[in-house]
Structure 1
Amino acid sequence: MERTKDSAAIIAAIRADMLDEYRQPHSYPWIIGYSGGKDSTLVTHLVFEMLMSLPPSQRTRQVHVVANDTLVESPLVVQHLVESVSEIEEAAQAFALPLVTKITRPAPDQSFWVNVIGRGYPPPNRTFRWCTDRMKIQPTSRYIKTKADEEGQVILLLGVRRSESATRAASVGRYDNGERLNRHNDLMGCLVYRPIVELDTEDVWEFLALKDPPWGGSHLKLIGLYRDASGGECPVVTQKSDAPSCGTTSSRFGCWTCTVVEKDRSLEGFVEAGYAEFGPLLDFRDWLASIRNDRDRRQARRRDGRITITDGGTFVPGPFTLKARAEIFERLRQLEKTTGQALINEEEVGLIHEIWAHEIVGQTKAKPMDVREIKKGR
């Protein structure tokens, strides 16, 4: 179907709107939520070009490009994220732009592996999606809060679009006050600016295909990632109402360990596109999902000692047993050898051993035989 609207005119209007907002008579910094996907890349591209178009005397507002690495991102995606953030940072320094970059990560004791292998949390699902808050919301929110405290207020630029999905359209409409800036629902001192909210997907791809990034190179690698994965990025998430965007049934880039989705279609896409080395990651993820509700691998009591029975009389098991956690750990270490990928860092390993040691001491007083069995499993 032939498109009737003028994409160039729409982009020009967005540029003018951005410039007008940047020139407002205050010094509140901009923070761009950068996921490395198409929409946040477009926003970053337009902001970078806007800064370059201004004389140095008018570049009065600091811009922060903030990305998030959950530490279990899909390998090709996190590689693109880290490389592109580095390219943006280096170019900003070369052009003397007031732009800095930051990659946020979960607090060491709240990483995926520390929670699953250390504390025995079952892999997340739709009813117990513990990962999004700990691994995505909290790290980025901490950075935003720090800047808001320092500056009095910040403006968060998000690459969300009304036409992205029905869910996204409802979210945009729910928090749209008719003004350019909207107050963030959860973060004090944070205003939200959605510059590309009215763009269609075709507009985004047309721009990225025709325009090279102002920090150098091209957008071809990003386009290739989407082509190979047949997916989209898990967006930057800074509030729990956006959590459904993370781990949906669509083919989105995200954590390779994600068990919220039934199938990781983006990682499957990479394997089908020739990245066979990621096949074992898919197998491990499927195995992790398969043991989630295995009663033999779950404790009867929760970590606080309680036994949980729902109002309907359903027994809810507690965390993985220490033996099951040791099994997951050993399989993960073997997976690292198989793939040649570093999948867990030594700080996480140290924290896991500390948690195990604490629990083993507690069990030693009650069940010495169980402790000997755990040590065999390790």
Structure 2
Amino acid sequence: MKDDCPWFLGYSGGKDSSALLKLVIIALSELTSYHKEITVIYCDTGVENPVITDYVYQTFENLKSECLKLCLPIKYKIAVPKLDDRFFVKVIGRGYPTPTNIFRWCTDKMRINPVKQIIDVHPKATVLLGIRNGESKQRDRTISKHSKSEYYLSQSGSKRNQIFSPIINHSIKDIWSTLKFNNFPKSIDSQKLGELYKDAGSECPVYRELPGKSCGSSRFGCWTCTVVRKDKSISKMIENGYSQLTYLHEFRNWIAEFRDNTEYRCAQRRNGQIGLGPITLEGRKVILDKLLDVELKSGIALLQKEELIRIKELWQSDLKNPNYIEKTAHSRVVKVKTHPKPPI
């Protein structure tokens, strides 16, 4: 009620953002009039865990109907990366090696920028985030660095917007209690969410507190993530019956090794420096063939038509670029051909 700045709530489908959204909707339902809009934003990178993506999209549809009936001023938006910033366009089209801790190009391009494009339309806004103290020492330092004198508020990196963190001091037990013991809104299904966390290798912390750790150390994210050594979350989900993820997990493990194969890496970078450069055209073709095979076997759509078209355009661009140099004069030139789109 303090100002007219619009609210934007970052939602991932996880426990913290779900608890935050539930609290906001409960609070709104207690008001008699509204003077600002609230927009809930989910960023679909295109390589999210498909089980979680399906859950989020269904939750969004249910929430839209529930909030509409209650006349609550909440909008729901899906943010997506620009075509050239999408994972497979970068990796298969441009030849980017998959992300590492040293070269973590994915977060800004695939998550932060798409959300910023929606928020930055407004000169000032309040961004609600489900961040909590005690999750990690690095996060605690970041929260402390940007905190403002007014409790629960901090300054965003751009300094245009302020961050509002209502659950900053919630324990894991508080989060699950909020989800489980508030029946409203019904669209946020605590039982379903709890099942997803358990299937990902987590224990339900309503009954057991794990200080300073996320729920069972499981976090939902991109199924292609090669920043972590092992994706324990998807491994555990496969063990618990999500067999459709098996082919995706195998691809992820394969490409984590393939990116370091010098046989398929240029000896010169795009800036002209000598050193391990982009994945070669031949290597990119190998990845595409592998991905299309995974798509066919899993029955999950992994590559959009517009992404495939853009990939082929980027291949042609490199073939015509005199400054694009692969390893040796004996490197094979890849013939760019059209791959049929497998039935889904």
TM-score by length of 1: 0.81
Q: Is it true that 1:257 corresponds to 2:224 in the alignment?
A: yes
Aligned equivalents of 2:34, 2:278: Cα separation in 1: 52
The match for 1:216 is 187
The match for 1:85 is 60
The match for 1:306 is 273
Aligned equivalents of 2:160, 2:152: Cα separation in 1: 12
Q: Is it true that 1:295 corresponds to 2:267 in the alignment?
A: no
Q: 2:81 aligns with which of 106, 110, 116?
A: 106
Cα 1:195–1:298 shift into 2, 3 Å: same
The answer (yes or no) to whether the contact 1:322–1:374 under 8 Å persists in 2 is no
The answer (yes or no) to whether the contact 1:163–1:201 under 8 Å persists in 2 is no
- How is 1:126-145 mapped onto 2 (pairs within 5 angstroms)? 126-145=101-120
The answer (yes or no) to whether the contact 1:323–1:377 under 8 Å persists in 2 is no
The answer (yes or no) to whether the contact 2:134–2:140 under 8 Å persists in 1 is yes
Structure 2 regions of 5+ residues with no counterpart? 204-215, 340-344
CA drift of 1:54 comes to: 1.3
The match for 2:306 is 347
Task: Please tell me the residue identity of whatever aligns with 1:41.
Answer: S
CA drift of 1:76 comes to: 0.6
Instruction: Give aligned-pair identity as a percent.
Output: 35
The match for 2:342 is none
Task: Please tell me the residue identity of whatever aligns with 1:114.
Answer: V
Q: Is it true that 1:170 corresponds to 2:141 in the alignment?
A: yes
Aligned equivalents of 1:105, 1:112: Cα separation in 2: 11
Number of equivalent positions: 326
CA drift of 1:87 comes to: 1.7
The match for 2:6 is 29
Aligned equivalents of 2:264, 2:85: Cα separation in 1: 22
Q: Calculate the aligned-residue CA RMSD, in Å.
A: 2.5
Task: Please tell me the residue identity of whatever aligns with 2:103.
Answer: F
- How is 1:48-197 mapped onto 2 (pairs within 5 angstroms)? 48-55=25-32, 58-146=33-121, 148-149=122-123, 153-180=124-151, 182-197=153-168
Give a deviation string over 1:127-178, Cα, whole Å, max 9, x none.
00000110001101111101x23xxx11111111102233322222222223
Q: Is it true that 1:285 corresponds to 2:219 in the alignment?
A: no
Task: Compare the two structures and name the one with the higher helix fraction.
Answer: 1
Aligned equivalents of 2:324, 2:190: Cα separation in 1: 60
Aligned equivalents of 1:121, 1:298: Cα separation in 2: 10
Aligned equivalents of 2:16, 2:285: Cα separation in 1: 40
The answer (yes or no) to whether the contact 2:266–2:278 under 8 Å persists in 1 is yes
Structure 1 regions of 5+ residues with no counterpart? 1-22, 233-248, 308-315
Cα 1:217–1:158 shift into 2, 3 Å: closer
Aligned equivalents of 2:223, 2:92: Cα separation in 1: 16
The answer (yes or no) to whether the contact 2:5–2:36 under 8 Å persists in 1 is yes
Task: Please tell me the residue identity of whatever aligns with 1:321.
Answer: T
The answer (yes or no) to whether the contact 1:163–1:199 under 8 Å persists in 2 is no
The answer (yes or no) to whether the contact 2:312–2:336 under 8 Å persists in 1 is no
Cα 1:54–1:334 shift into 2, 3 Å: same
Give a deviation string over 1:226-267, Cα, whole Å, max 9, x none.
1100259xxxxxxxxxxxxxxxx9431100000000000110
Query: Secondary structure, in 3 states, of the residue corresponding to 2:267?
Result: coil
CA drift of 1:107 comes to: 0.5
Give a deviation string over 1:173-193, Cα, whole Å, max 9, x none.
222223136453422431111
Aligned equivalents of 1:165, 1:195: Cα separation in 2: 18
CA drift of 1:355 comes to: 0.4
The match for 1:362 is 321
CA drift of 1:126 comes to: 0.5
The answer (yes or no) to whether the contact 1:70–1:111 under 8 Å persists in 2 is yes
